[in-house]
C-alpha cells in the first residue's frame, strides 16, 4: 500500500506544480522568467511521464488532485496576483509552492518508508528537482 500511496503523493505534487506554472506564466511579462518556468514545467512533465510508466509497469492507478484542490490553487494564484504580478512576486509564489513540494517529499519519505527502493529513488529525484527549482527561483527575489 505504501508504494501506491507514495506514487500518488508524488504525482499530485508534480501536478500541483505544473498547474501553478501554467497559471503563473499567464501573469508574467518577463521573457527570461517565462523561459525558466517553461523549463521547470518540462522537467515536471518528464518526471510525471516516468511516474506514469513506473505505475503502469506495477499496475498502480495514479490519481490527480481532485477538482476542489485545483480550484483552490487557481483561486489562490488569482488572489495572490491581483495587486502584484511583478516577476519578484511571481517567483515568491513559485518558491512557496516549491517549499511545500519539498516538505511533501520529506514527509512522504517517513510516511511511506515501506515503499520499494525504486519508488524511493523516484522520490529522491523529485526532491532534488524541487531543490534545484528553488535555487533557480530564489535569484528572482533580488528584484
Cell numbers standing for residue 16: 500541483
> Looking at domain 2-142, what is its CATH homologous superfamily?
Ferritin, core subunit, four-helix bundle (1.20.1260.10)
Backbone conformation region of residue 98, classed left if phi is above 0, alpha if psi is from -120 to 50, else beta = alpha
Q: What is the pLDDT tens value at each position of the chain, 143 positions in all? A: 799 999 999 999 999 999 989 988 998 999 999 999 999 999 999 999 999 999 999 999 988 776 667 556 556 666 666 677 899 989 998 998 899 899 999 999 999 999 999 999 999 999 999 999 999 999 999 86
Q: Whole-prediction pTM value?
A: 0.89
Give the start-to-end residue ranges of the domains of the chain: 2-142
Number of CB atoms found within 10 A of residue 24's CB: 22
Cell numbers standing for residue 73: 490553487
Amino acid at each position: 500500500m505504501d508504494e501506491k500511496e507514495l506514487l500518488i503523493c508524488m504525482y499530485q505534487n508534480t501536478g500541483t506544480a505544473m498547474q501553478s506554472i501554467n497559471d503563473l506564466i499567464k501573469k508574467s511579462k518577463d521573457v527570461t522568467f517565462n523561459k525558466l518556468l517553461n523549463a521547470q514545467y518540462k522537467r515536471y512533465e518528464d518526471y510525471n511521464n516516468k511516474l506514469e510508466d513506473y505505475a503502469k509497469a506495477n499496475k498502480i492507478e495514479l490519481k490527480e488532485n481532485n477538482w476542489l484542490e485545483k480550484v483552490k490553487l487557481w483561486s489562490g494564484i488569482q488572489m495572490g496576483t491581483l495587486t502584484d504580478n511583478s516577476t519578484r512576486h511571481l517567483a515568491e509564489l513559485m518558491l512557496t509552492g516549491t517549499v511545500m513540494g519539498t516538505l511533501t517529499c520529506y514527509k512522504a519519505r517517513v510516511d511511506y518508508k515501506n515503499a520499494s527502493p525504486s519508488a524511493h529513488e523516484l522520490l529522491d529525484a523529485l526532491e532534488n528537482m524541487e531543490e534545484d527549482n528553488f535555487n533557480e527561483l530564489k535569484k528572482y527575489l533580488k528584484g
